[in-house]
Structure 1
């Protein structure tokens, strides 16, 4: 028997990338698939391109919805899927031709409820191989949660799921969360898994050439969303019976990383927004009660991060931004020197 795998692809204004994405899916070595494409109200040529593929390949099923966001599009795809197994692929990414075959083989041989693989990170800096899962046939729920919360392990892609688990527990993407909603879904799914498995291959091709950066002016919605995600995580860790200290450690690290990233963002855009606005934004971040509650526990072994933590704990806002400006200048200089060295060699 060759079970069907449903590949869910949410689409929104991705005419530049969708052809390569679909092409990589329909040319999988494992052929018993359905490609569930949900167009989330695209205004470009995405629909035209998808329909061109659909005319040539009956395995493609296509749905259109008014723009409601990627979570709603994925939920729509889950509801319409008919396969025993589900895979999620973003419309600007591609996959290795053995992607489905190897994930499914691993799921069968290991009898795992969730199988993961590594990925290739494609950016302006080149192509790098990554994996967040340093095990093969078994690991505990707690260790898996720890891996998922590091790096990009909490994304939907690079994983194969069982439809019966999703259906039985009515698992859905949370539409009220607009960032890290995939992390919450993965962890909620993991709570119902008896076992996990991973393969070492880097079979998913993650395209970071199409990313829009966070606005230089901090959105309070973005910060509140991040905090809402952390509160969801606290509930999941409680259900998973994670030790309270471990939960605090993970949440504090996430809050710390967010705060440092946002301070760095202000420094990087200082010429655009000005020092006055940058100081206002950072003060606004540091005054949020949930962040203040975790700030005393900020710590890092990184020489570069330690000054940030010292300055933030003491509410030295302007010096933290100036420090960020110095770091960014140094990074740009190192990058220019590296490019010059590469050009001289060629």
Structure 2
């Protein structure tokens, strides 16, 4: 019996990208699919564009909900799905025409619970091939979990999931998490898996050009969200008996990365609200008990970030902001130089 694959696509105000996304799914070499498009209360022309495709292909299932966020949209898609396998595609991305076929082929060959692939990263600096999973067929659960926690390993796309594992364990996205909700879901799913595999092909096209996406808008208001994610991770790691030291390293890295990115984001507001207010924001963030618990563990081998962490650990908030502005200028200059080199080549 030929297995059926459910493709879940949450959509929110994506009129500039949704056509290319749907086209890439309809053109898959594997045809036994259902395409579940969940409109999360878009107020642009997304719905109008989707309706045009519904008339062309009866494999498309269209759902609408008031704006409740991507977690609820994906949950709605999961509950509606009837496929043996699930894949998730973001509405501003596209996929290679063999995306589903090759992922499914490897899944069936190994009877794998989760199969991943590489992706092409599209940004204003060009296109770069990338993979988070360089694994053999005997990778352990703990090793795979560590990979999931690195880079973009925890995203939903670039993977094929077994429906039976999701249904059996009643897995769903937490609607209270609006960033990294996919990481939590993937780790919860992985905790119930035994066999993992990866295809060393770049089959997913990740679009970083959409500056309106959620992932491009990190602010200090995301602190509680990130703490909640880390608390989820601690519980998952404990449930699979991941080494305590390894678990702590992962959590510290996540907290440190978030703190640094938030400080950088806040430093960009100096001209708008003044260094005194920005310093106060950073001070409040670094005074949160959960962050305080891990702050002393912050480490970096980078010569650029060592001063950064010194200022943070010693509560030199204004110095931290000024150094962040300096680093931002360096990063911009570095990217421009790299771009010029690529153009000259």
What range is the shorter-chain TM-score in?
Answer: over 0.9
Displacement after TM superposition at 1:340 (Å): 5.3
User: Which whole-Å CA distance do the structure 2 matches of 1:320 and 1:338 have between them?
Assistant: 27
8 Å Cα contact 1:136-1:199 kept in structure 2: no
Deviations 1:92-137 (A, max 9, x none): 0000000000000000111110101111111111111111111142
Are residues 145 and 45 of structure 1, via their aligned partners in 2, closer, same or farther at CA, if it must alter by over 3 Å? same
Report the counterpart of residue 57 of structure 1 in structure 2.
57
Does the residue aligned with 1:71 lie in a helix, a strand or coil? helix
Q: Deviation at 1:13?
A: 1.0
Match of 2:311 in 1: 311
Alpha-carbon distance between aligned partners in 1 of 2:340 and 2:103, rounded to the nearest angstrom: 41
Contact 2:38 2:74 in 1 (8 A): yes
SS in 2 for 1:327: helix
Task: Quote how far apart the aligned CAs of 1:214 are.
Answer: 2.5
Question: Is the 8 Å Cα contact of residues 264 and 321 (structure 1) preserved in structure 2?
Answer: yes
State the match for 2:130 in structure 1: 130
How far has the Cα of 1:263 moved from its partner? Answer: 1.2
**How far apart in 1 are the matches of 2:144 and 2:339?**
38
2:112 is the counterpart of 1:103 = no
Alpha-carbon offset, residue 33 of structure 1: 0.6
Aligned: 1:214 with 2:222: no
1:242-261 correspondence to structure 2 within 5 Å: 242-261=242-261
Distance 1:295 1:199 in 2: 37
Cα deviations across residues 290-316 of structure 1 (Å, max 9, x unaligned)? 101101111111111111111111111
Aligned pair count reads 342
Q: Spell out, residue by residue over 1:186-210, the C-alpha distance to the aligned partner (whole angstroms, 9 max, x if none).
A: 0110011111111101111111111
Q: How does 1:1-346 map to 2 (within 5 A)?
A: 1-212=1-212, 213-214=216-217, 218-219=220-221, 222-339=222-339, 345=344
Aligned residue for 2:134, secondary structure, equals: coil
Work out the CA distance in 2 between the residues paired with 1:338 and 1:2. 47
1:245/1:340 Cα in 2 relative to 1: closer, same or farther (>3 Å)?
Answer: closer
Q: How many angstroms apart in 2 are the aligned matches of 1:190 and 1:20?
A: 30
Cα displacement string for residues 159-215 of structure 1 (whole angstroms, at most 9, x for unaligned residues): 000001111111001111111111010011001111111110111111111134326
CA distance in structure 1 between the aligned counterparts of 2:239 and 2:339, rounded to whole angstroms: 49
**2:191 and 2:330 mapped to 1: Cα distance?**
44
Name the CA distance, whole Å, in 1 between partners of 2:207 and 2:183: 19
Give TM-score, length-normalised by structure 1.
0.95
Residues 215 and 255 of structure 1, relative CA distance in 2, 3 Å threshold: closer
Q: Secondary structure at the match of 2:115?
A: strand
Q: Distance in 1 between matches of 2:337 and 2:141?
A: 45
Q: Is the Cα contact below 8 Å between 2:4 and 2:83 reproduced in 1?
A: yes
Tell me the CA shift for residue 278 of structure 1.
1.3
Contiguous gaps of at least 5 residues in structure 2:
none
Report the CA distance shift for 1:230/1:88 in structure 2 as closer, same or farther (over 3 A).
same
1:224-259, Cα deviation, whole Å (9 max, x unpaired)? 110000000000000010111111111011101111
Distance in 2, matches of 1:76 and 1:262, equals: 32
Compute the RMSD of aligned alpha carbons.
1.5
Q: 1:182 to 1:339 in 2, by over 3 A?
A: closer
Change over 3 Å in CA distance of 1:328–1:101 after alignment to 2: same
CA distance 1:129–1:340, change in 2 (3 Å):
closer
3-state SS of 1:56 partner = coil
Q: Distance in 1 between matches of 2:340 and 2:179?
A: 37
